[in-house]
Structure formats: structure tokens, C-alpha cells
Amino acid sequence: MGNSGTRVGPGWRIVLAVHKYRSLVAWQRAHQAVVLALTQCDKAYHPRSIALFAQLRRAAISVEANIVEGYGLGTPALFRRHLRIAMGSAAEAECLTRIARELRYLPETATQDLEALLERTMAALYGLLRSGGERGDARGER
């Protein structure tokens, strides 16, 4: 027990290590992209855009969620697998964003920002995949 009366042991190291995914540039960019996608879809809601926005939301959420899940599983092989899934979801979200722009479901500035974030997310994911999925790589750069 520490001075504050809380237990500190081996299990706590696992909890602390799992939260280090936040230091990954790929996660930081994916998080920015999902927040932007969700807020813009909410602002631009219209019945005609329901299906496209629902798919865009799922794809954007999937990018971030797969980075975190893969990181949390703790093995390079599982991390790489989830990074590849995240890459596919990022490409899907980028495609859906382009469609939303062409149909004028989202404002031009929002789609430009979202596409740029998704491109940067895919670049960071690609860097992690090229490094062999080592969780210590590609941290801290912007």
C-alpha cells in the first residue's frame, strides 16, 4: 500500500501501460478525426444524410477503437492486425467524407479538415505498420 492507502502492485502496471496508447500519434490523429466527424455530422443532420452519416460515424469510431484495442491486447501481432483494420476504416471514412462533400451534406471546410486528419492518421498508421507494430514507435511526433 502506498501512503494514500491505495494498493500498488503488478496489476496497476498493466492499467498504466494500456493508457499509453494516448502517446501514439496515430491515436491522437484518429481521436481528432472522430470528434470532428461526430460533431460535424450532428451539426449538418438532415434526413437524407442519415445512412451516409451513420456509416461515417462507425468508420471514424472504428479507427480509434481498433488502435486502442490492438494496443491493449499487448502483442505485436495483434497490434498489427488491429492497425490494419484501423487503416481500412480510415480509408472508408475518407471515402465517405468525400461523398458527403460532393453531395454537400457537410460544409467544404469540415470535409477538408476531416480528409486532412484522416490522411495524417493513415500516414501514422502506415508508419506503425512499417515499424513492425512495435508500440513504442511513432510516439510524440506531430
User: By the 8 A CB rule, do 90 and 56 touch?
Assistant: no
Amino acid at 30: A
Where do the structural domains in the chain lie, given as residue ranges? 32-130
pLDDT tens-place string over residues 65-113:
999 999 999 889 999 999 999 999 999 999 999 999 999 999 999 999 9
Enter the C-alpha cell of residue 48.
437524407
Using an 8 Å Cβ cutoff, are 103 and 45 in contact?
Answer: no
Q: What is the pTM of this model?
A: 0.81
Is domain 32-130 annotated with CATH 1.20.1440.60?
Answer: yes
Q: For all residues of the chain together, what is the average pLDDT?
A: 86
